[in-house]
Amino acid sequence: MVLDLTSLVSGKVNSLDFEYDLDTDSEESPLIPPDDVSFAPPVHVKGTVVNTAGYITLSFTAELKYSTHCARCLKDISGKFILTFNRTVANSGTLQDEDNDAYVIMKNGKLDIDRELVEELLLEFPSKLLCEEECAGLCPKCGKNLNFGPCDCPKKKEIDPRLAILQKLLEND
């Protein structure tokens, strides 16, 4: 969505609210999920642009539904990623470095929200998602899902050196 901020810049209004669903197939800023992840539209966006004595800020939240696999046990998982976005809006040509991440750039009173949104969503989307924080994952040797109990692979245990001596004595007996 491209927001027209002319009435905000001129001071006619102090804030502009917006709410829309992102066009995820847009040609200019398509939302392409990372490998092994699929996104389920719509991506609902809700926010506001506020002018405080000439200082303009953009803030919004976006909800992105996804499905993927647990990074440890490969179980199918799905969930909702919520992005919170807060930036200062600067007029094109007033910044030395327009790639500065602290700002979003408005051109001729217009602000392209989608471009910023898609960029930020892909940047902030977690690179590893787990079915649950405590997921035990798969055994690297036999591949058993350790969430359903231990496997039969021999475990390397750290043995107390004093016990190791005792064990040796017993073995030699």
List interacting residues with Zn ion (CB under 5 A). 70, 72-73, 75, 131, 135, 139, 141-142, 151, 153
Query: In whole angstroms, how close is the CB of 136 to Zn ion at the nearest point?
Result: 8
Query: In whole angstroms, how close is the CB of 110 to Zn ion at the nearest point?
Result: 45
Query: In whole angstroms, how close is the CB of 134 to Zn ion at the nearest point?
Result: 9
Checking phi first, is residue 158 left (phi over 0); if not, alpha (psi -120 to 50) or beta?
beta
140 or 161, CB closer to Zn ion?
140
91 or 145, CB closer to Zn ion?
145
E strand or H helix at 66, and its extent? strand 55-69
Tokens at 154, concatenated: 């021999």
117 or 131, CB closer to Zn ion?
131
Residues 6+ apart with CB under 8 A from 142: 151, 152, 153
Tokens at 25, concatenated: 């197939």
